[in-house]
Amino acid sequence: MWNEVKQTLRLGWPIILGNMTQIALGIIDSAMVGAIHSSQLAAASFVNNLITLPLILAIGLTTAISPLVASALGEEEIHRPMRILFNGGLIVTVMSLLFAIGIHLGVDMVYYFGQDRIVADLSKPYLIWMGWGMIPMAAFMAMKQFADGLGRTRVPMYLALLSIPVNVLVNYAFIFGKWGAPRMELEGAGVGTMASRIVILVAIFWLIAYSKGFAPYRQQLGDQLQIRWERFRDVFRIGVPASLQYGMESAAFALSGIMAGWLGYVQQAAHQIAISIASFTFMVSVGISAAGSIRVGYAYGRQDWAHARSVGTSTFTIAVAYGMLCAVVFVLARHQLPLLFNDETQVVEYAAVLLFLTAVFQISDSVQAIGVGLLRGIQDVKIPTLFVLLAYWVIGIPIGYWLAFEQDWNVAGIWIGLVVGLSASALLLTFRFLRLTKRRKAAIAGK
């Protein structure tokens, strides 16, 4: 067990750090504009909630790339990874372009979600920047998943780290009007996000195209860089359900943010603080999930179900331990962490309550993230998608709405619904993985 844990963490820690770096960009935006006024923070929350669904649907497709690449390596098919990247990357880039055009043309939708007028006005230009920023982000994620599937997880990590100083410097210049740049406030944060995403996209493209480390996978490029229906089919087969899984989860959190806005920008700002902190710690779970998915995908390619189950159970153990650690930190620091974003008394008080509820669902959140990744590694995606639909949209969101608006529990009621939904998802996905691997391990042993 301990050996499996060490191997997963060795593969996963660069993914974890890279993921945390990317979510840190959103936290940096929130913290820097929150220093101006809570209405700016609320507008950032609103836009991030709106942009989440299309971004996740595009990026969710890229999650098919790493297990497909790992499975190809398990089958010793060295020419397949680049084909998978080319076709998968083409799909997500076109999809994100269509989403960006749709967002730009329909940007006035910010006035139809029941938000405070000041929040809607501030959101409009920021949403345009964030919409176009989806394109370099999706393309980068496709290449990142390719590198991760090959076990080269440090390359995307270094590039993700590079994006932080770029984002901070451009943010500082355009949010506050420094160094000759115009003072754009929240819109300036959109400029910073776009700049950082373009920089890391160019960097990872150069490394994959020209560095020696990826040279073995660039052989016979004329054959590999062709549109192939079978590659499209594989990416869609795994990627579409994965996109729906992430999309339904993200949409649930996005809707919770919009509902928080119905309660006023103070509670919406508190919601944004709590969700920013929870998203940051969640990136560790996503990184562990990705590492487990890659290792399970390699075992799947070799049809070694005993090893797949061993990797899975050890990864679930990591999830529980990590969730417990986060829960303790959130409870102890729930009054101090909100001050990193805003010091208005009401905002901090609401955020402290939400961070306590965030602590409650840390184990469930980590376990369900890892369950999704492990099942994707063995290319089981359809039933887990139904589980996610049930957990969030049949259980979590309705309970949250009822508690918040029918029982007058306000934003805390919304978050209690999220706790219930995450817990249901964790139980269903864990049971599914353990049941499938046990059955297939027994079937192989019986032959």
N-terminal to C-terminal alpha carbon distance within the chain: 26
Residue 220: band (very low, low, confident or very high) from pLDDT cuts 50, 70, 90 = low
Which positions ≥6 away from 120 have C-beta within 8 Å? 43, 46, 110, 111, 113
- Tell me which of 11 and 426 has the higher pLDDT: 426
> How high is the mean pLDDT of the chain?
83
Contact between 366 and 55 (Cβ < 8 Å): no
Burial class (CB in 10 A: 0-12, 13-18, 19+), 382: exposed
pLDDT of residue 228: 67
CA distance 108 to 417: 30
pLDDT of residue 13: 75
pLDDT(260) > 90: no
Kindly report which listed range (46-50, 289-293, 360-364, 371-375) carries the lowest average pLDDT score: 46-50
User: Mean pLDDT over residues 89-98, rounded?
Assistant: 88
pLDDT of residue 229: 66
pLDDT(390) > 90: yes
pLDDT of residue 231: 63
Residue 217: band (very low, low, confident or very high) from pLDDT cuts 50, 70, 90 = confident
List the chain domain ranges: 2-446
CA distance 250 to 326: 21
pLDDT(337) > 70: yes
pLDDT of residue 232: 64
Distances (CA, A) of 344 to 38, 225, 298: 8, 54, 50
Three-state secondary structure along 38-92?
Answer: HHHHHHHHHHHHHHHHHHHHHHHHHCCHHHHHHHHHHCCCCCHHHHHHHHHHHHH
Distances (CA, A) of 351 to 238, 268, 293: 37, 10, 34
Residue 23: band (very low, low, confident or very high) from pLDDT cuts 50, 70, 90 = low
Name the residue with tokens 């405070």.
Answer: 116
Tens-place pLDDT, residues 353-372: 999 998 988 889 899 989 98
- Tell me which of 325 and 189 has the higher pLDDT: 325
> How is 360-398 classified by DSSP, letter by letter?
HTHHHHHHHHHHHHHHHHTT--HHHHHHHHIIIIIIIHH
pLDDT of residue 171: 82
Report the range out of 75-89, 398-412, 432-446 with the highest average pLDDT.
Answer: 398-412
pLDDT of residue 330: 92
pLDDT of residue 2: 72
pLDDT(16) > 70: yes
DSSP 113: S
Residue percentage of the chain with pLDDT more than 70 = 94
Contact between 154 and 213 (Cβ < 8 Å): no
pLDDT of residue 202: 92
